[in-house]
Amino acid sequence: MVAGFVIWASAFVLLYAALSAGCAFGWNDVRVADLDLNRLILMAIWIGHLLLLVGLQIYCLLLPRLADDSTATFTRRIAIGSTAAALVATIWTGLVIPAVSPCL
């Protein structure tokens, strides 16, 4: 039930760490495919975590529905809802990566 928010927390921490390391080591000055290296790394981390969350959401949706077990049905519904919320939170967290300058 909490796997989605564990992935979101991982994305948040890794994005923050990569941003700090990129600014400290001057990755903004290195250009790769018309993007600076810092932004490219941040985008890779963000997209990777989004793909993990989409995969988790698909897994939760494909879990079998057990008609006779109300606890399993409740747990499945909570897992689907919390993973969807974590996906939205991860999208919101990284939405500014392509839009603003990472380092001031």
Give the tens place of pLDDT for each residue, 17-53. Answer: 999 999 899 888 888 888 888 999 999 999 999 999 9
The answer to whether the predicted template modeling score (pTM) of the entire model surpasses 0.75 is yes
pLDDT, tens digit, for every residue of 77-86? 999 999 999 9
**Interatomic CA distance for residues 32 and 12, integer angstroms:** 24
In the chain, where the domains are located: 3-94
Q: Which of 54, 24, 52 is nearest to 38 (CA)?
A: 24
Residues 6+ apart with CB under 8 A from 27: 21, 36, 37, 38, 41
